Structures are given as C-alpha cells and as structure tokens.
Amino acid sequence: MATVSDVMVRTGRRGELGLLGLAVAVAVLARGLVDYHADFLELDELAIYAAAWAAVAGAIHLAIRRWASYADPVLVPAVLALNGIGLAMIRRIDFAYASRGRETDFGQVQIIWTLLGIGLALGVLLLVRDYRLLRRFTYTAGLVGLIGLLLPLMPVIGTQINGARIWINVFGKSLQPGEFAKIAFVVFFAGYLVSNRDTLALAGPKILGMRFPRPRDMGPLALVWVAAMLVQIYERDLGTSLLLFGIFVAMLYVATERLSWVVLGLGMFGVGAVLAGTLFSHVGSRYTAWLHALDSAVYSSGASEQLVRGLFGMASGGLFGTGLGEGRPDLVPYAESDFIVASLGEELGLTGLMAILTLYVIIVQRAMRTAIGVRHGFGKLLAAGLGFAIALQVFIVVGGVTRVIPLTGLTTPFLAYGGSSMLANWIIVGLLLRISDQARRPEAVTP
C-alpha cells in the first residue's frame, strides 16, 4: 500500500553558514567601497566592522541552531545581505550630505536599529516557542493593530511629519506604529480566517461562474476597507492603506481559494482610490504627479520633482551603475529612506537592483514555501500573510519609485533608513523562522 511519509530533512545549517559568510562579505565590501570613495577608508576600522558583522552573523547562526534548528536556511542570509547593503548606502548618503554641509548620522543610527531589530527577531524565536500560541491572541491582535493605526491621531503623542500623520513620539524618538500594526493585523486575519473561511468560501450566489460571498459574510472585508480608507483620509498615508488592504485580500484568497474575493477587493479598492483622488486634493496631486511626471508644469511646481530626479538617477546608473560611492544619489530628496531604491539603482545599476529584488523574491518565496510545508491552517495563513506583507511593501515602494504606481511613502524593508520599519521587519523574520522551523521539523522529532 502506498503511504505518505516524511523524508529525512536536512536542516541546512551548513548551507546557511556559507551563505552568511557571503552576506557578511557583501556588507563589508559595500562599506569598504563607500569609505574609499569618500576618502574615509581606514582598514583598521573596516576590519572592526567586518569582525562585528561576522560576530552578529555568527550569533544569529548559533541562536538558530539552538532554538530553531530546522528553520529555513536562506532567510537570514538574504535579509542580512539586504541590511548590509542598506547600511552602506545610508552611510554613503551621509557622506554626500556632509560634503554639501548637511551633517547627518543616519548611518550610525541605522546600525543601532539593525542591532535592535536582530535582537527582537531572536527574542521572538525565544519567546514564541510555538507559533500556534499566537492564535489565542487573534482578537487582541486585531485590537492592538487598530489602536496602532489610530495612535498617530491622538493629540499629544501623534506628530505630523511631511504632511503625513503616521508618527508618534516616544522618549524623544518618532516611531511609526503602523509598521507594527501590520504584523498584528496579519495575526488577526490569520486567526479570523482560519475559523471562518468555510462560510466565506462556500455560501453565496453564483454570478458569471464565480461564487460571490453572501452580503452578511462581507462584514470583515467591508470593515477593513473602511479602516484602510479612513487611514488614507485622516493620516494621508496612501501606502499603509494600500498595504493593509492588499494583505487582507491576499490572505482571503489564500484562505478561500475564491477568485471572487480578489475581484471584489480590487474593485472596492479601485472605487476607493478614484473617490479619494477626486475628493481629496493631496491624493489627487499624487495621481497627477504620477501620470504627468515629466510635464514641465508639474515638475516645476515641485509635485513630481523627487520622482523625476529618482528616475534620472536610475537612468544615469545604466546597466552596471556608477559604482558605490561614485554617483550623486543625494540629489534626490529622501535618498536614504523613501528613495533608497533609486539610490541603489544609480550606484549598482540594473544588475545590482535586480540582485536586490531577487533577494526579496527569495525571502517571499521562502515564506510561501513555509506556508505550504506547515501542517496547521493558522500557520499557513500566518506565513503567507507575512510573505505578502513583505512582497506588497516592496512592490508599493519600488513600483512608486519606478513610476509603475503612484508614489506613496512606504519604507523599503531592511534597506531604507527608519527604525520602526527595521524593527517590524526583523520581527517578521523571527516569526517566519519560527514557523519554518516547525514546518520543516520531522514529525518524529516534534514532542
């Protein structure tokens, strides 16, 4: 009789060690090139930096061996490489600003955020020994997410920076609670959908060969849609609303296998986006800057200046880039955060940018593979949701910078300057490591 059995799984820890070595080499060489072109290269300092990177990578490796020995071997090296490239690029932009008389220390701050983020990821591994534990906090997570989204609107702690009210002030540091709300919402959606997917998938009338859900089952979708639209209206944050809604629709599709949800979701977002574009001037001006970016009237009014400068930067990079430290990425406003993709495109060229995007593809693919491998429905949805969170965020940022979609202010995961994003994305990595560890662990080893 044919039976289904698990293959002896390779833990892949040795492969991970080799990849970590390569990732450290990428990070150190990037910084070396940046320092050399800024006439700042001191080999002693570079050696210390290299040793620190090796120590951090080694610590992560040992922690994974100890606490999640079957975790995915490719995830951490890919993330560390992206992080290293980001650190070098931010430092390079610091130098560029300094040569124009603007003193910034984004690079140093970002190193601290990176270390904190890695610490958080290891903390997640240590604290969450079984991801199924998170299912108990389904509705708590939903509430936490909602509060996180609403915090910036509070009078005292909420602050408005560059027209978007998405920051809060804590201990003199500004944080974006929306980044963390994203994770809480993924936990909530996963827990909610794993309990309710059958009613969402099976009941309802059939129109044009697609089974549409019953109106009363539409409640959660409508609720999240309204929440996303409110965020867009009150906080002027197009990116987060698009991200949240995208994650929800993707997870609904994963949970129910019904294309009708995707059609409905895209339709609702389309209606919402058009309405917002006609009703609110700040959204409308984004659309204009996107569609008519190269019109001289739009450009000289300043609406599309950043976008167009980024495009020219990437164009001057060409196929192989100007080389790290040899371009002028600082000519683009916010070259270290929103437009770090354009900066990288200029200095590493299409070849380098494609490598970076492939690293993201690998990370997302690992999340999806974990979702396929894990046995528990909640874990499947959680892993898929976290994967979609990273994928959509990269799409929204890179799409905005390359003028595929309207520009919105989201951070590029692991690359861009920004503490909240760094911490939140490392938490996602910690969760994915935990789920993949449980997905790949052979049945017999599980207690």
Partner 1 sequence: MSQLSITLLRMGFLVLLWTLVLSAIAVLRADLYGTRITARGRGRESRREHDARAEKTASPSRAATGIRTGSISTKDPSAGHLAVTSGPLKGTTIPLGTAPVLVGRASTCTLVIDDDYCSARHCRIYLEGDRWMVEDLGSTNGTYLGNQKVTDPVPFREGDVIRIGATALELRG
Q: Which residues bind partner 1 (CB under 8 A)?
A: 1-7, 9-10, 12, 15-16, 18-19, 22-23, 25-26, 29-30, 33, 36, 73-74, 77-78, 81, 85, 320-321, 323-324, 326, 348-349, 351-352, 355-356, 358-359, 362, 365-366, 373, 440
- Residue 267 token pair: 């339709």
Closest separation in Å from C-beta 177 to partner 1: 33
Side chain identity, residue 212: F
φ and ψ of 166, to 5 deg:
-125, 10
Tokens coding 125: 């591994």
Name the β-bridge partners of 170.
Answer: 173
User: Based on CB atoms, which residue is closest to partner 1, 325 or 419?
Assistant: 325
Strand partners, 175: 168
Q: Are residues 48 and 93 in contact, defined by beta-carbon separation less than 8 angstroms?
A: no
What whole-number distance in Å separates Cα of residue 243 and Cα of residue 232?
11
Q: Cβ contacts of residue 101 below 8 Å, gap of 6+?
A: none
Q: Which two tokens stand for residue 376?
A: 């528990």
Q: Distance between CA atoms of 397 and 405, rounded to whole angstroms?
A: 9
Length of the chain: 447
96 DSSP 8-state letter: H
Q: How far is the CB of 349 from partner 1 (least distance, A)?
A: 7
Nearer to partner 1, 204 or 373 (CB): 373
List residues bridging with 105 in a β-sheet: none
Name every residue whose Cβ is closer than 8 Å to that of residue 137 and which is 6 or more positions away in sequence: 187, 191
Contacts (Cβ under 8 Å, ≥6 apart) of 365: none
State which residue, 78 or 283, has the beta carbon closest to partner 1.
78
| C-beta closer to partner 1: residue 252 or 348 | 348
DSSP single-letter state for residue 441:
S
Triad 159, 165, 79: Cα angle to 5°: 100
- For the CB of residue 300, give the shortest distance to partner 1 in the complex, in Å: 35
- The beta strand positions in 352-440, using DSSP E, are none
For partner 1, which is the closer residue by CB, 12 or 58? 12
Q: Which is nearer to partner 1, 352 or 385 (CB)?
A: 352
Q: How far is the CB of 192 from partner 1 (least distance, A)?
A: 23
CB of 13 to partner 1, least distance (A): 11
CA 339 remoteness from chain centre: 14
Minimal distance in Å, beta carbon 391 to partner 1?
Answer: 17
Return the number of the residue (103 or 443) whose C-beta is nearest partner 1: 443
Q: How far is the CB of 144 from partner 1 (least distance, A)?
A: 34
- Rounded Cα gap, residues 265 and 283, in angstroms: 20
Q: How far is the CB of 286 from partner 1 (least distance, A)?
A: 33
Q: In whole angstroms, how large is the CA radius of gyration of the chain?
A: 22
Rounded-to-integer distance, Cα 291 and Cα 227, Å: 27
Q: How far apart are CA 230 and CA 362, in angstroms?
A: 33
Task: Tell which residue, 306, 389, 367, has the closest CA to residue 341.
Answer: 306
The residue among 189 and 360 lying less far from partner 1, judged by its C-beta, is: 360
* Cβ 16 to partner 1 shortest distance, Å: 8
Residue 150 CB coordination number (10 Å): 17
Tell me the residue ranges of DSSP E strands in 208-364.
Answer: 210-211
Which CB atom, from 224 or from 439, has the smaller least distance to partner 1? 439
Q: Name the 3-class secondary structure at 167.
A: strand
Indicate the residue among 7 and 208 with the shorter CB distance to partner 1: 7
Kindly tell me which of 29 and 230 has the beta carbon lying closer to partner 1.
29
Smallest gap, in angstroms, from Cβ of residue 91 to partner 1? 15
Instruction: Tell the smallest beta-carbon distance from residue 354 to partner 1 (Å).
Output: 9
